[in-house]
Amino acid sequence: MYRPKYDPDTFYHWHTVSVRFRDLDVLNHVNNAVFNTYFEEARINFVSGVPELADSWEDGKSFVLVKCTLEYLKPVIYPSTLLIGTSGLSIGNTSIEALQGMYDKETKELKAIAITKGVWFDLKKNRPCAVPEINNIDTMMFNQDSNG
């Protein structure tokens, strides 16, 4: 899986997460399942920051996560603050695939990387629906050639 070095311009959207003591496991580092929660929180924050998606969200549409590939690179300890970057990789008719990177805020060390696929879903009709047209779609997409 691609492992981008930290650069503020690497991802379209950044979200900060503070590690909580309750997130630790018996080995005294963040439990692997909690990484998914951190990435999910960043995706929700990402969606709420894209006007076309946020407007559609208010109309009863939402993402349903259908795939998540996560690579754990380094342990996360308490106390820590994380920076989670999110960019689009591809957009289909009803789905968006995203790349996310989790970095330690202080050291900028890459802790984990995830590729997720979400289907845009009509909660009222209980079925997939078209992803809204996004005006600044090019700026949201990850450009692997210029980041590494």
d(Cα 110, Cα 136) in Å, to the nearest integer?
27
Tens of pLDDT, residue by residue over 12-56, are 999 999 999 999 999 999 999 999 999 999 999 999 999 999 998
d(Cα 95, Cα 129) in Å, to the nearest integer?
9
CB-based burial label for 29 (10 Å; 0-12, 13-18, 19+)? middle
Tens of pLDDT, residue by residue over 76-134, are 999 999 999 999 999 999 999 999 999 999 999 999 999 999 999 999 999 999 999 99
Distances, alpha carbon 44 to alpha carbons 27, 79, 89, 107, 111, in Å: 29, 23, 17, 25, 20
pLDDT surpasses 90 at 57: no
pTM of the model: 0.92
The pLDDT of residue 136: 86
Residue 58 banded pLDDT, cuts 50, 70, 90: confident
